[in-house]
Amino acid sequence: MIAKSRVQELAEQRMEELGKPLYVVDITISSANHIFVEIDNEVESVSIEDCVSVSRNIEHNLDREAEDFQLEVSSAGLDKPLRDFRQFKKNVGRGLKVKLTENGKVEGKLIEADESQITLETERRERVEGKKKKIKVIENIVLPYEKIGEAKVVISFK
């Protein structure tokens, strides 16, 4: 079986050579040697050329004679959950849907992210006694990463 650490090393080597703020989000290797590498960029989107370059470096440095493998390198898609704090940092200002580890969901605008937690700005309507209309209440919620089960960017076409 191909070592995950070797694939990680080869991917990081190429990303460093490219001189872009690229990083590995996830690497999975199946028992049939299907290697899936997911990469992201701290500042902008990942280009196809970045994926091809990382893929070629991994492929050319692994021996197919020793072990046959299938390799797939892709960018972290919008439909995928955020898994690295750098992904949260990159998406500050966007809407997030968060499933909590202890039952519950929160949706709001990501206003801050660091290495230990995120801050979401949430909005709800609340009835005030003596008034007919509900008023909008804005609240900031701080969530440590341990309490986040899954977080996805809300895709908006506005």
- Domain ranges in the chain are 4-75, 85-153
pLDDT at residue 131, rounded to an integer: 79
In this prediction the pTM is 0.85
pLDDT at residue 132, rounded to an integer: 81
pLDDT at residue 59, rounded to an integer: 96
For tokens 């005030």, name the residue.
Answer: 128
Is 4-75 a domain of CATH 3.30.300.20? yes
pLDDT in tens for each of the 158 residues of the chain?
Answer: 899 999 999 999 999 999 999 999 999 999 999 999 999 999 999 999 999 999 999 999 999 888 899 999 999 988 899 999 999 999 999 999 999 999 899 999 999 999 999 999 999 888 888 778 888 899 999 999 999 999 999 988 87
pLDDT at residue 126, rounded to an integer: 87
pLDDT at residue 128, rounded to an integer: 81
User: Pairing state of beta strands 95-100 and 148-153?
Assistant: antiparallel
Domain 85-153, CATH: 2.30.30.100
Q: Is it true that 4-75 and 85-153 share their CATH fold?
A: no
153 close to 109: Cβ distance less than 8 angstroms: no
